[in-house]
Structure 1
């Protein structure tokens, strides 16, 4: 069993709140994590139609069956659940009584916001991070292999030894059937699959809605709606540009990242590690993998992501900014295996610009690269791709 970093954050949340909600993409390991954290709690599966009907027809019986609470899988399937839980925790408050999991964050968050505000802790569990896989016999040995396989939990199950291409093909089909079809309508299914493929090919780049509209034949409102669907299913995230201008005119477009590079590779029809390493999208795929690792490093510890990017209209860019309020940590991401002083040019440029703004300090930054050694680059330093979670600055 691979140990999840979030186990401590989940335990701490259960000590402070009667309800804990864990969202994340399908097959990221939410239910397994919940069971490990609370082995004494029974599990209620709301994707089981029989279980769902039983609860809907007899709420009193439901709470009688689970007087000490339960783990409720795919809680968003039953919107009435949230007001019922509100009444239960108000009547019999006890910390850590209920754990909710869900792969559709919009529906789950809406139910929580309407009924459980102030009574629930929210955590986000992504697929496995590199730091969690180190002890696994199936841990990727190279950056290209890590990008190709991704981090979905079943792919690291030693008892199954699944082929990534086959499993991810089935994952896309399940995703469409269980998480997306109801949100987009049956008639849009084929267009959405094309849209999903274009999102994969666009991962790590700025979102230009016209590109999607022209390629698929949908309007800008539909592009925005479908991007929101991917975020709801935790399949993609959008990184916003940071608002600090430092005397420059800034780009206002968001950047798009799929939540898993293995999924991106499958949607781009890349079938092996060699194809990934030599493809035109290698740079954006590496950036996507590293951005996801940064998010996992923080969110799996219960920290807010606080992650942005910065780009001026004259072309200067920093791939990621970790915002600590009055201090900004700039991060560059490079697919190269060789670290050189020039890789940190964007970090140095931003620090120079920041001297115009006394309200914020731009710290010495990190260059995450495809090599294996930590190397000083003046005030900044190069960090190996496999050591992201070991950087103390990321925990601040």
Structure 2
């Protein structure tokens, strides 16, 4: 565990939300640091946890009475309710309170899934609840740096310049691999290799046994567990639901339900396909990414030896792609513009790992699991923006590689070291 608390970039957004909304709802995977953020970094509020079975039983028996009493006891500081998703009756009780009281920052809820899943309650609380998603530590948070504002830099007009990008620190290939293997869970990432992998596997078991059960009744928990293993094996690949169902031995609707639950628990995300509108030319299946490469490595039993020079290069490429996807996902709230992430694949085999889109600008990211890069690595990005569906867009192409120097390969084409994601100064 870290000697001192690592900075969480969500803190500023949380403080701003407390000033502007009545209920702040922080969702994210178990053990990413939600409770630490609200208890130790904010150091305000009255705290209860629904992981305590007695507290949960009292809340379910008389939610309105319990909430009224706790709010009165809290006075003018927020009432913090941890593991809020465990109560089925909490959301309506909170709605009644905030309907009557207009003060901002009345509640902070934390949990692995959104307590406001009831459509009626969610609609009636529109404008009164701010939901924030907290994910595992980013590379920038681990290195105590500011959010990765690579998208802001890439979209500068008339075009981005390397001199405006912070100089990234040199990292060896092995150093990068260790970062991918460690993952972003604060209490797990610094453990010795075997202990870390065991903890990550136990973590996944806990999610299946506890968090999934809060959302649905799973008749075959072993099927859910095997599904997660299959997602880990296919991270950064297109999602074939039919194939997964055949391998695991359950029907397609069940697989779809399980995938929805894992998405709600922020254990995985589906990266949609970007489409050009040219009928029949774009492949439209989403890609799947697990939330953390430490979990991927543990479930696939990947170690440093798995990425030696004579090992399968595809394994490192997929893990690197998931790592970059997750870094970009964590960085989105901190960009000036609103960005959406996609992937793209053409029926003739051309593909781009990740596309970030805002207005009429696209930033395309390709991965190179090597310390060397050349112009051939940009061939899909170049075709996309000159002869392909990006020709009507402002397209910037970036190859992320395991070297140590930012390089330019022509107008709006750049090779950036992975360490660029933790090169920006702290705010």
The two structures share one fold, judged by TM-score above 0.5: yes
* Mapped partners of 1:356, 1:188: distance in 2: 45
* Mapped partners of 2:23, 2:55: distance in 1: 21
* Mapped partners of 2:238, 2:253: distance in 1: 17
Q: 2:367 pairs with 307, 318, 333, which one?
A: 333
- SS of residue paired to 1:166: helix
Match of 1:387 in 2: 420
Match of 2:316 in 1: 282
* Mapped partners of 1:217, 1:299: distance in 2: 39
Match of 1:258 in 2: 290
Compute the displacement of 1:182 (Å). 5.2
Compute the displacement of 1:355 (Å). 7.4
Match of 2:232 in 1: 200
Residues 9 and 300, structure 1, Cα contact 8 Å, conserved in 2: no
- SS of residue paired to 1:4: coil
Residues 86 and 214, structure 2, Cα contact 8 Å, conserved in 1: no
User: Cα–Cα, structure 1 residues 104 and 11, in superposed 2: closer, same or farther, change >3 Å?
Assistant: same
- Mind listing any 5+ residue stretches in structure 1 that lack a counterpart? none
Match of 2:15 in 1: 11
Compute the displacement of 1:303 (Å). 7.5
Residues 208 and 224, structure 2, Cα contact 8 Å, conserved in 1: no
Residues 28 and 111, structure 2, Cα contact 8 Å, conserved in 1: yes
Match of 2:268 in 1: 236
Compute the displacement of 1:61 (Å). 2.2
* Mapped partners of 2:279, 2:386: distance in 1: 11
User: Cα–Cα, structure 1 residues 96 and 182, in superposed 2: closer, same or farther, change >3 Å?
Assistant: closer
User: Cα–Cα, structure 1 residues 154 and 375, in superposed 2: closer, same or farther, change >3 Å?
Assistant: same
| 1:124-160 deviation per Cα after TM superposition (whole angstroms, max 9, x unaligned) | 1110000011149xx99722111111111212579x9
| 1:33-62 deviation per Cα after TM superposition (whole angstroms, max 9, x unaligned) | 222453121211011111223334333323
- SS of residue paired to 1:365: strand
1:82 matches 2:91: yes
Over aligned residue pairs, what C-alpha RMSD do you find? 2.8
* Mapped partners of 1:62, 1:161: distance in 2: 43
* Mapped partners of 1:357, 1:71: distance in 2: 50
Of the structure 1 ranges 247-256 and 182-191, higher mean CA displacement relative to structure 2 is found in 182-191
- SS of residue paired to 1:382: strand
- SS of residue paired to 1:153: coil
- SS of residue paired to 1:40: coil
* Mapped partners of 1:162, 1:70: distance in 2: 39
Residues 7 and 144, structure 2, Cα contact 8 Å, conserved in 1: no
Q: Which one scores higher on RCO, CA 8 angstroms, separation ≥ 6?
A: 2
Match of 1:145 in 2: 178
Compute the displacement of 1:390 (Å). 4.8
Match of 1:219 in 2: 251
* Mapped partners of 1:299, 1:262: distance in 2: 23
Compute the displacement of 1:304 (Å). 5.3
Compute the displacement of 1:356 (Å). 7.6
- Mind listing any 5+ residue stretches in structure 2 that lack a counterpart? 146-170
Match of 2:357 in 1: 323
| 1:331-377 deviation per Cα after TM superposition (whole angstroms, max 9, x unaligned) | 1122122121111111111111357864xx23222111111211112
Compute the displacement of 1:80 (Å). 2.2
The 5-angstrom pairing of residues 299-318 of structure 1 reads 299=333, 306-318=340-352
Match of 2:241 in 1: 209
1:66 matches 2:100: no
* Mapped partners of 2:188, 2:337: distance in 1: 26
User: Cα–Cα, structure 1 residues 88 and 45, in superposed 2: closer, same or farther, change >3 Å?
Assistant: same
Residues 182 and 190, structure 2, Cα contact 8 Å, conserved in 1: no
Residues 91 and 116, structure 2, Cα contact 8 Å, conserved in 1: no
- SS of residue paired to 1:96: coil
Of the structure 1 ranges 300-309 and 11-20, higher mean CA displacement relative to structure 2 is found in 300-309
Q: 1:125 pairs with 123, 134, 141, which one?
A: 134
